[in-house]
Structures are given as structure tokens and as C-alpha cells.
Structure 1
């Protein structure tokens, strides 16, 4: 795993996650020698994981995928004769969905209204900002929560009078390892997003900053932004709402996609702003001017939430930044 991390373009978070899965596999086997791993070992581990109640997708796409990836690297780069994990997956049928993957409009509005109340817990200034702004940004961008929680003030950029957000792996990580621009919905502008980002300064908005010399794209261990995302998820659960698939932050991504279809948003523009790669080479041509992204993001209808003017992340006598 160490050699794969050094010689391939693998995200630091993926390295951390895969190491955890590999440690569990080694504990199951009682050793960490890849040359001694057999298909029967992998199959027995899969069967034991199935007994724990983990979903087929989790077992196949996380646990088994981690073992398969490192053994594939061993076959390619070293003298490992074969990949013992090849072809072994959890083929159980997924349970039939009982509801939408995303929030309903009613649930979304309830969460967004609740942001004006903040939390009664003693939180840091960045985490107070996160409880208010992260749900709103997720609602109008569909971004992954990690991409929002790692946002820095300097990523608010203006081109030709049009503001936009730059999502970049330099702030932590992105699933694709690439950077892209996202349009800003007018409702976010009216709520004060631009002013908040400017007041927060050039550094991180939703977590306490690291020392200036820190390379955020190659952190060892958990990025502080993940704590902000987990704070938001816990806060949503505290509202008493049952999050779709148990993922309170990711449910916004599904709702955003649904609303983008209903509002006639250009699919290529939507996929670009979601950080999804082009389906074919044709979609990869050209650039996306901020003015185009702005027009497309503002096709989304506004959430029917009245602004009471209260911002729970502000301290008495001023904004905490």
C-alpha cells in the first residue's frame, strides 16, 4: 500500500481508508503477507463481513476493493503471481428502495429553516458558520460535503462581474482529483454568502486553519474539514429527520440532481458543477464561462424559506468572521 501511494495518483483519503480495510483483512488472516493470501482467504473474509450486516455495496466497493487494488499493484509492480481477490464480490441483491435517495422538498425546507436557529452546543466560530452555511450551499450546488467543508475564502472568485466558487483538491481533496468552478445561486447571494466568505478571509471558512506551510492535499490522517461535515450531519439528525439512506449530507446531492432535471438545467453544466467527469470526449471540449454556470445554476427554483435576518454564527456586536 505504501508503494502504491507513492507511485500512483491516489487520493490521501483513499490511502487512509484502504489502509483501514487492509488492517482488518490482516487481522482476520493473522498475517500481512500478500504472497500467502489465497482465494479461499478472501472468500472467507467476505462471508464473515456479510454476517456483520454490512451492505453488499459496502463490502464489494470498499472492503474487497481495497484488497483487490493492493494485490493488483503487487501483480503489476512486484512478483506476486496472481490477484487472489479477483472476481470475489458480494453478489447479494440490494434491498428495494423504500423512498427517494434525496430529501423531499418539505424535508429540505425544514432543514434550511432550522439553520436560522443554529445549535445550543458550544461550538467554534467555524463550526457555527458550518451549521448555517453548509446545508444551504449543499442545497444549491449538490457538492459533496467534504468539498464544501474544506472551502477557503479565497475560492470566491469573480470574472467579468460574475462570482463563482472554485472547488480544488489543493484545499484537501476532490473525488476526481481535479478542480472546477460552480455557479452561485442568487438566493445564496441574498442570504449573504459573498460577504461571509470575504469576511472570513482567504483561509478555511468552516474549520480552524492549519499552519501556513501545511500542504492540505497530502495530509496524513483526517482533514479537519471532515469534522465540520460530521457536525452538520449530527445536527441534522438532531432535528429528528430520517435522512435518506442514513446520509444526511449526501441526500442534498440527490435532491439537487432531481431539481436540476425538473428545472431544465443543462446536463453537461450540471455534471461539470457536480465535479463529474465527461461521459465521452465530446463533452470534454471547451471551457465553462462563469456567466454560463451562473445562468444554469439560477434555473433552480428558490426554496420557499423566509429569511428572518438572524445569523446564529454572528457574535453579539459583530460578525465572528
Structure 2
């Protein structure tokens, strides 16, 4: 019996999993070792377990014999490098974007851009309030510069310990990989280096950049070699107390998966590129999350579905733009019959509505905007939408975005327009008395995804088809073979019952 062998996990891979004793967790900064073995054959995976058992035991022994303030030893260097490897593996499974933080940042984008443009004007063209804001910003920049200059003589020296290793037993002498840079390395430069790596999503890069700026402002300097694990623990504690969105403290998930994750990848990059001698994030534990009390299902009830879809049929234009009226009319129905993310619908363009193999479909593509998987997919249009006149609405629309007008944005403000439309939709749903701010268990847009999945299960729609239409990864290697053709998807979607409003 292989105690530490687990799996198969996502992609069919087996992995090594070993718990860390409670007294050592604060030193190592983790609750367990979680390392992908990179193989799908159980017998091959079993043969790899003894090697990992020996190496993780060495890390545990080193942690037990060295306190957090002890000078680094070769074994501690091995532990640091192993933790870096382990964080890289675990990040694939644990990282999720914080929707609340992303929406808040997007909502502030127009205000930030407008303020930046405004403050570039001469002082005589600013109001007293704007002049005061400019003074505050200039003073903060000046104080930051002074703080950096004062700290320059205090830079910490030190070289990377020899005989470091990764958690897979591949020992390497530090000199073989090149010396650690002796120059002053800035945190911001390290992050920008990380941000140039392929495969990163633009939204993640923007979000993490703002987090790294928050860290720099908290520290009062931008010198990577001067950052200790104690500094980062104080930052983590500050994040727990600082008022964030709507004056509320940040959640443990936001701090762990956004703030600490941004710091982790930045210092991981610097350590891996030999820009810094050690990674201070490796010894910073995560915030323990309180278990949330769920008072209701994340789905819409039948009454809530009826209320939203009925209201969408009689939108009062008022002072709303034609594009927003169209969004209020059609996006709830599109979400209800596709299970797509709301922003995947608000970013749709006229050319994304297409007919292939005699099947009308919506093409959800990264070309139009953010798609979480970065992969395009075709989803059939439910016959009920066609009967309601959705295709006629498309014919009457000009080329380009269906639900926002890019020409009405100021310079630099077009990015994220479709996300703001999604937030306007959420406000509209809350205005119907559904998904009030105090009811955190129900998200006024995202609840359609839960509702769609529930109805698919009730209707007997194949799991592979429903996962594809919603942009969810299929479980198991076998389900990644073969294509989800439109005719096949249409047959499955035909099982999905109509939303009756009578």
C-alpha cells in the first residue's frame, strides 16, 4: 500500500501527497506536500513514491531543527526550492480569480483613467478638490522616494546557499545555474519580468500588477532583497484588517488566491532567475478561511427565473442606450439557455452569431473579450430564443458589439466595457428584489450557470455536452478525445425544457 500515492487527478496524473505535522506548518508555510508525479500509470507512480518520501522527510527534519530565524543551511535551501516547486504544482489546482476584487477593479477603471487625465491639466484648470487630490498624490510620491533613498544603504547582502535541490531529487550546485545578481533588484521589475512569460491572461496580469503596487506602498520601498517573510506576514495581517470593497474586510480566499498568489509568483520568478537569493513568500502561511454558512441554493428558484425573464420582455428604455436595452432584453435569456458566463454574452459581436451545419450558434471567442479558458467554443442557440426573434434582432444590429457602443467611450476606457454591462445587469436584477447585496449566497448573474447545470441534470443531458457548453473542463482523459460537434450539441440542448412564464 502506497500511503502517499493519490489520484488520478486532473489530466489523469497521479500525485504525491503528504501531510505536514502541525508544529512544522508555521515554519514550512504549508499544511501538506502536493506534487504531481507527471505519470498516468499507477505502477510507475508507485515506484516514484520512496524517492519523494525520502526527500520530503529531509525537508521535515530540516524544518524541525531550524527555526524561522536560523541562518539558511543547505538543507533549508533545498526546502525553499522544494516549496517553490510545490507551490507551482498546487497553483494549478487551487488558484481561482476573485470575482469580487475583479469587478471592483473594473468598476474603478473609468474613475482612475479619468482622474489621471484630469490631473495632467495645469493647476489653474483644476477645482480646489482636484488640486488637493493632486497635492496628496505628489506628496505620497515624494515620501516614497525619500523612504527608498533612506533604505538604500541598508540593503541586505547574502548569497544563495549551495547544494539546493527541487522536490524531485534533482540536486544542483548553485554555481552551476549561475550566481545570484548582486545588483539592486526591484520588486516591480521582478513582476514585470514574470508578466512577460507566455500563457498569462491579461486580466490576471493587470490584477496582480495592482497587488504588487499595493505591497510596494505598504513596504515603503521597492527593493526585493530587503523583503523578509516577517514583512510579508505583516502585510498579510494588514490585508485582513484593511477595509476593501464597500468598506468590508477582504475574504481569506481573496488574500490567499489573489494577494499572496501575486507575491508568490513574483518572488518565485526572481528566485528562479537568480535575481534574489531566497524566496521570502515560502515561509508565509495562508489565511485560514471561515466556513461560510449557506442559507440557500446558488440556483435561481422557479419564481426568480420567471421574475427576471418576464421583466426582460418589457424593458423601459428611458435614458438607457439602445445597446443596454438590448442587453437587458436578451442577455438573461442567453445566459439561461447557454449557461455561459455573463461577460461571455455581454461581449458578443454580430459576427459571433453564425450558422454552421444548418445549426444557429453563438461563438464564444477570446477575440471578442476575456474567455476564462482562452479557448473558443460554439454553443447552439435554443429554439425558444429563435422563436422570440433573436435572429431578427441580430439582423437589425450593426457590425461589432451587440450590447455596448465602443465609440461612446473616452480614450483608454473601452477595455472592460462589456464587464460594466454585466454589472449593470446585476444591478437591474437586484432592483427586482433578487440577489440583494446582503444575500451573498446568490449572485444575480452567476446564478444562471448553476441553474443551467441543475436543469441539464434533470433533463438527462450528457455531462460532456453540458460541460462543453458552459466552458467547464471535462473530467478524465477519455473525455478530451473527439469533438463536440454542433449537431450533437443541438440534440442534447433540445432536451433542455423551455422557460414557461405563464
TM-score by length of 1: 0.86
Cα deviation for residue 221 of structure 1 reads: 7.6
Alignment of 1:188-199 (within 5 A): 188-199=385-396
Question: Matched residues in 1 for 2:368 and 2:194: separation?
Answer: 23
Pair 1:224 & 2:417 matched:
yes
Question: Matched residues in 2 for 1:24 and 1:121: separation?
Answer: 41
Cα deviation for residue 220 of structure 1 reads: 8.7
Q: Which residue of 1 aligns with 2:406?
A: 209
Alignment of 1:169-188 (within 5 A): 169-188=366-385
Aligned partners of 1:74 and 1:80 also within 8 Å: yes
Q: Which residue of 2 aligns with 1:46?
A: 236
SS in 2 for 1:31: coil
Cα deviation for residue 176 of structure 1 reads: 1.1
Cα deviation for residue 200 of structure 1 reads: 1.7
Aligned partners of 1:103 and 1:255 also within 8 Å: yes
Cα deviation for residue 246 of structure 1 reads: 5.3
Question: Matched residues in 1 for 2:268 and 2:316: separation?
Answer: 47
Q: Deviations over 1:35-54 (max 9, x none)?
A: 32222222222222223432
Q: Which residue of 1 aligns with 2:335?
A: 138
Cα deviation for residue 127 of structure 1 reads: 1.1
Q: 1:260 aligns with which of 451, 456, 465?
A: 456
Alignment of 1:101-112 (within 5 A): 101-112=298-309
Cα deviation for residue 31 of structure 1 reads: 2.3
Aligned partners of 1:154 and 1:201 also within 8 Å: no
SS in 2 for 1:131: helix
Q: Which residue of 1 aligns with 2:432?
A: 239
Question: Matched residues in 2 for 1:220 and 1:18: separation?
Answer: 20
Q: Deviations over 1:119-157 (max 9, x none)?
A: 465122111111111111111111111111111111112
Question: Matched residues in 2 for 1:20 and 1:209: separation?
Answer: 25
Aligned partners of 1:42 and 1:88 also within 8 Å: no
Q: Deviations over 1:232-270 (max 9, x none)?
A: 111111112125535211111111111111111111111
SS in 2 for 1:169: coil
Size of the aligned set, in residue pairs, is 299
Aligned partners of 2:464 and 2:479 also within 8 Å: yes
CA RMSD of aligned residues (A): 2.2
Question: Matched residues in 2 for 1:30 and 1:102: separation?
Answer: 45
Q: Which residue of 1 aligns with 2:221?
A: 31
Worse overlay, 3-12 or 109-118: 3-12
Pair 1:127 & 2:324 matched:
yes
Worse overlay, 26-35 or 233-242: 26-35
Q: Which runs of 5+ in 2 are unaligned?
A: 1-190, 244-248
Q: Which has the larger Rg? A: 2
Q: 2:276 aligns with which of 77, 80, 84?
A: 80
Aligned partners of 2:298 and 2:443 also within 8 Å: no
Aligned partners of 2:341 and 2:446 also within 8 Å: yes
Cα deviation for residue 199 of structure 1 reads: 2.3
Question: Matched residues in 2 for 1:184 and 1:136: separation?
Answer: 11
Q: Which residue of 1 aligns with 2:484?
A: 288
Q: Which residue of 2 aligns with 1:311?
A: none
Question: Matched residues in 1 for 2:274 and 2:446: separation?
Answer: 38
Closer, same or farther: CA 285–190 of 1 in aligned 2, 3 Å: same
Question: Matched residues in 1 for 2:413 and 2:227: separation?
Answer: 28
Q: Which runs of 5+ in 1 are unaligned?
A: 212-218, 307-321
SS in 1 for 2:258: helix
Aligned partners of 2:253 and 2:289 also within 8 Å: no
SS in 2 for 1:181: strand
